[in-house]
Amino acid sequence: MKKLHRFYLLVVASGLLGAGLALADGMDRMEGPMAARVSGQTQGSLHHGEGVVQKVDLIGGKVTIAHGAINSLRWPAMTMGFTVQDRKLLERVVAGERIGFDLLHTAQDQYVITRIMPIQ
């Protein structure tokens, strides 16, 4: 009788674990308004960060920044590449420079730099 009871517990636990994993997998793939509500972000929201420029790609319109935490996005400090809204933003930016920047959360669920300001 105890073996049968353990078997049922194992089956139930496996089912719950599978359902939890399926839910988590579905959350990663969410798009559109529901994804924005779950993540706490809305399209068109603007965020501010500060960091040090690592690399500038004028032709590609991209910049790599080692930035501090961005609390409004719940992002920890990290190094990542961003596309800029206008390539002219990169004309006066050089590697090693400390900057402040604004990020726009787009409808395509991307984060695009809309403004770059040097920090003294």
For the stretch 9-37, pLDDT in tens is 444 455 544 444 444 444 333 333 433 33
Mean pLDDT, the chain, whole residue set:
78
Name the strand (E) or helix (H) holding 4: helix 2-28
Q: What mean pLDDT comes out for the span 49-68? A: 98
Q: Which of 25, 50, 54, 30 is nearest to 40 (CA)?
A: 30
Give the model's pLDDT for residue 8.
53
pTM: 0.65
Q: Which of 100, 102, 94 is nearest to 72 (CA)?
A: 102
How far is the C-alpha of 60 from the C-alpha of 69, rounded, in Å? 25
Range picked from 4-8, 49-53, 105-109 for highest mean pLDDT: 49-53
How far is the C-alpha of 63 from the C-alpha of 4, rounded, in Å? 61
Q: What mean pLDDT comes out for the span 110-115? A: 96
